[in-house]
Amino acid sequence: MPRPYAGLRNVASYLRTTHAPAIGVRGLLAYAVLDATQQPLPGIPMSDTFLAGRTALITGSTSGIGLAIASALAAAGAKVAINGLGSAEQIASAIAEVDAAGHAETRHFGADLRDPAAIDRMMSELTAWSGGGIDILINNAGIQHAVPLAEMPVQKWNDIIAINLSAAFHAMRVALPGMATRGYGRVVNVASVHGLVASKDKAPYVASKFGIIGLSKVAALEYAALGSRESGGITVNCICPGWVETPLIEPQIEARMAGGNRDDGVRALLAEKQPSLRMTLPAEIAALAVFLCRREAHNITGASLPVDGGWTAQ
Ligand code: NAD
């Protein structure tokens, strides 16, 4: 779809970056052409705003990894729908953060992902808001509850499976056919190392994450041959983080403080499983999600990509 003035807008945004002086006026003009047409020019790197004209939904993006992915996709030019729970202030702050990072409109869709009917309503509203359907679906929302299997409340099992696994199915079921029609689509499911290996005390979490990896492989196969290199194709992948510093793991840090401070808790958590002994930052997961959305990533599909400091290499 033609995007009048998109190239000029994107050049303006590029001028704000530190690389602008290095490429000169001819380079900037090349960027304008590149951005307006979405066609890569030989020898010219793809624009930072290569997602201009695309719409993305990121579930669970009022906090943590989802918020970082929403901001990074907005910075890459996408119109971003955020979703997630939180106070009015937290939601307003998330919208403001994504808006500040981006170039297009940001809106919050408040569906509680435990409710399939609410997901259906959100997906219908998104079809209208995006003018035909979303191009990028990041199933990121997730919750955790760590206790031994026999002590796991049944309601926790139901909620974790609903949010971490079933919600992704409900959203993909609606979003994928539109992606197929347009020849471009990206589904990135934020799974976990716990989709690749287990830990005790996390029965529903591990089951949900193994499940979403299986679901992603099926969808990847069903849509692999649609679209083309030029249109970008339809890909479905999982990112499998180890420890990422977000509110989700705070109870597990606190449980390991052993009378010390928070840094002691972080060190103890890393020492158990993550050989790099470094936390991943949400923005580092976001950088991988953005890469998967590029056209050059058309042949990365059905993959489960660990970002885990060597956790699953052991
Ligand atoms: P977080 O707690 O910071 O964010 C979770 C998000 O999910 C929030 O926006 C929250 O509002 C939303 N959410 C929770 N219940 C919801 C519901 N019923 N309906 C709609 N939204 C709901 O957590 P995070 O660490 O950023 O986790 C994001 C994803 O990354 C999860 O799927 C998690 O399993 C995965 N993950 C996290 C880590 C880590 O170390 N933090 C590691 C591996 C995988």
Q: Is 189 in the pocket of ligand 1 (CB under 6 A)?
A: no
Q: Of 48, 67, 84, which closes a domain?
A: 48
Residue 17 burial (10 A CB sphere; 0-12, 13-18, 19+): exposed
**Residues 97, 222: one domain?**
yes
Q: Which atom of ligand 1 is nearest to the CA of 243?
A: 40
Residue 247 burial (10 A CB sphere; 0-12, 13-18, 19+): exposed
pLDDT at 168 over 80: yes
DSSP E strand stretches across the chain: 55-58, 79-83, 106-109, 136-139, 184-190, 233-241, 304-307
**Residues 143, 161: one domain?**
yes
If one compares 13 and 246, the residue with the highest pLDDT of the two is 246
**Residues 59, 116: one domain?**
yes
**Residues 128, 112: one domain?**
yes
pLDDT at 47: 52
Q: Is 86 in the pocket of ligand 1 (CB under 6 A)?
A: yes
| Mean pLDDT (whole number) for 248-252 | 94
Whose C-alpha lies nearest to ligand 1, atom 39? 244
| Spatial CB neighbours of 160, under 8 Å, sequence gap ≥ 6 | 143, 144, 145, 204, 205, 208
pLDDT at 67 over 60: yes
Distance between Cα 124 and ligand 1 center (Å): 23
Mutate to test the pocket of ligand 1, among 155, 215, 248 (most ligand atoms within 8 A of CB): 248
* Structural domain boundaries enclosing 31: 1-48
Q: What is the CATH number of the domain that holds 210?
A: 3.40.50.720
pLDDT at 256 over 60: yes
Q: Give catalytic residue positions.
A: 205
**Residues 146, 186: one domain?**
yes
**Residues 37, 122: one domain?**
no
Q: Are the C-beta atoms of residues 212 and 241 closer than 8 Å to each other?
A: no
Distance between Cα 146 and ligand 1 center (Å): 14
Tens of pLDDT, residue by residue over 191-243, are 999 999 999 999 999 999 999 999 999 999 999 999 999 999 999 999 999 99
Tens of pLDDT, residue by residue over 12-54, are 433 333 333 333 343 334 333 333 334 443 433 445 899 999 9
DSSP state of 47: P
**Residues 176, 249: one domain?**
yes
3-state helix vs strand vs coil in the chain, percent to 5: 50, 10, 35
The pair phi, psi for residue 109, each rounded to 5°, is: -115, 120
pLDDT at 104: 84
| Mean pLDDT (whole number) for 99-110 | 94
**Residues 16, 127: one domain?**
no
pLDDT at 48: 84
- The confidence band for 76, taking pLDDT boundaries of 50, 70 and 90, is very high
pLDDT at 11: 37
Cα(152)–Cα(158) distance, integer angstroms: 10
**Residues 39, 168: one domain?**
no
Tens of pLDDT, residue by residue over 128-154, are 999 999 999 999 999 999 999 999 999
Tens of pLDDT, residue by residue over 260-278, are 999 999 999 999 999 999 9
Q: Is 91 in the pocket of ligand 1 (CB under 6 A)?
A: no
**Residues 308, 201: one domain?**
yes
pLDDT at 103: 84
Q: Are the C-beta atoms of residues 240 and 195 closer than 8 Å to each other?
A: yes
Q: Are the C-beta atoms of residues 111 and 98 closer than 8 Å to each other?
A: no
Q: What tokens appear for 229 in the block?
A: 């290199």
Whose C-alpha lies nearest to ligand 1, atom 9? 60
- How many other C-beta atoms lie within 10 A of the C-beta of residue 264? 14
pTM of this prediction? 0.88
pLDDT at 10 over 80: no
Q: Are the C-beta atoms of residues 56 and 129 closer than 8 Å to each other?
A: no
Distance between Cα 141 and ligand 1 center (Å): 4
| Spatial CB neighbours of 23, under 8 Å, sequence gap ≥ 6 | 31
**Residues 115, 216: one domain?**
yes
**Residues 30, 129: one domain?**
no
Q: How many domains is the chain partitioned into structurally?
A: 2
pLDDT at 171: 98
